[in-house]
């Protein structure tokens, strides 16, 4: 039966001879489909640059343009081009700030770690009336303070007085 050539853009199979493949690739339909395929991967800046140089396509406005993506005239309306310009303006405003260096990010991370560990120390250390410090192996979430004494015992904040009257028994 012979070898076949399959065009992914056109979704067609044809005999794999050099002349047939070359004719197909030079065809208007194939070029249009290839251009439409790659159009979806273009960034807005490139689209704006290409389309602002073109004149508007009068046939496209009437719905008669058969060239699609390979038309030498613009298929974007003035409103769409203005929207692209506005998008690019907002994008350029947000990217004007230089990204932080690696050293700055590292220093920020180290500072965040030290503040978190100092906050954890405040949450896990208990001082009793004798001045003895007790370190708890967990941290307490201060969001629970808003509930007052309505919390179940498993998530209440411990006080040293809670342990002074505790009765310790042998288990097992």
In a domain, 33, yes or no: yes
Asked if residue 51 and residue 23 are part of one domain, the reply reads no
CA torsion angle 129 133 139 140 (round to 10): 10
Cβ–Cβ < 8 Å for 33, 25 = no
Asked if residue 11 and residue 54 are part of one domain, the reply reads no
In a domain, 101, yes or no: no
List the beta strands (DSSP E) in 66-160.
125-127, 133-135
In a domain, 11, yes or no: yes
Asked if residue 54 and residue 33 are part of one domain, the reply reads no
Total number of domains in the chain: 3
Asked if residue 57 and residue 37 are part of one domain, the reply reads no
Q: Count the Cβ atoms, other than its own, within 10 Å of residue 96.
A: 7
Asked if residue 64 and residue 29 are part of one domain, the reply reads no
Residue 24 is predicted with a pLDDT of 94
In a domain, 169, yes or no: no
Please tell me the pTM assigned to this model.
Answer: 0.46
Sign of CA dihedral 78, 89, 35, 9: negative
Alpha-carbon distance of 69 to 38, in angstroms, equals 10
pLDDT (tens digit per residue) in 131-144: 666 666 666 677 77
Asked if residue 154 and residue 134 are part of one domain, the reply reads yes
pLDDT (tens digit per residue) in 74-89: 888 888 889 988 888 8
Structural domain for 124, as ranges: 120-164
- Compute the mean pLDDT over every residue in the chain, rounded to the nearest whole number: 80
In a domain, 57, yes or no: yes
Give the position of tokens 């389309």.
51
Asked if residue 71 and residue 37 are part of one domain, the reply reads no
In a domain, 49, yes or no: yes
Asked if residue 47 and residue 37 are part of one domain, the reply reads no
pLDDT (tens digit per residue) in 31-83: 989 988 988 898 888 888 888 888 988 898 888 888 877 888 988 888 888 99
pLDDT (tens digit per residue) in 82-113: 998 888 888 777 655 677 788 888 888 777 76
In a domain, 100, yes or no: no
Q: At what angle do helices 44-52 and 78-94 cross, to 10 degrees?
A: 140
Cβ–Cβ < 8 Å for 3, 20 = no
Asked if residue 27 and residue 48 are part of one domain, the reply reads no
């Amino acid at each position: 039966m012979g070898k076949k050539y399959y065009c992914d853009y056109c979704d067609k199979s044809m005999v794999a001879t050099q002349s047939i493949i070359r004719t197909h690739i030079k065809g208007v339909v194939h070029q249009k489909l290839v251009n439409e395929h790659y159009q979806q991967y273009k960034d807005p800046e490139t689209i704006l640059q290409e389309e602002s140089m073109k004149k508007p396509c009068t046939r496209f406005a009437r719905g008669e343009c058969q060239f699609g993506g390979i038309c030498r005239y613009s298929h974007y309306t003035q409103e769409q081009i203005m929207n692209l310009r506005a998008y690019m303006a907002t994008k350029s405003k947000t990217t004007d700030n230089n990204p932080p260096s690696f050293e700055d990010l590292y220093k920020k991370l180290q500072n965040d770690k030290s503040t978190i560990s100092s906050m954890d120390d405040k949450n896990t250390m208990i001082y009793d009336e004798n001045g003895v410090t007790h370190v708890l192996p967990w941290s307490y979430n201060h969001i629970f303070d808003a509930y007052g004494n309505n919390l179940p015992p498993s998530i209440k904040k411990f006080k040293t007085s809670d342990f002074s009257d505790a009765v310790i028994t042998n288990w097992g």
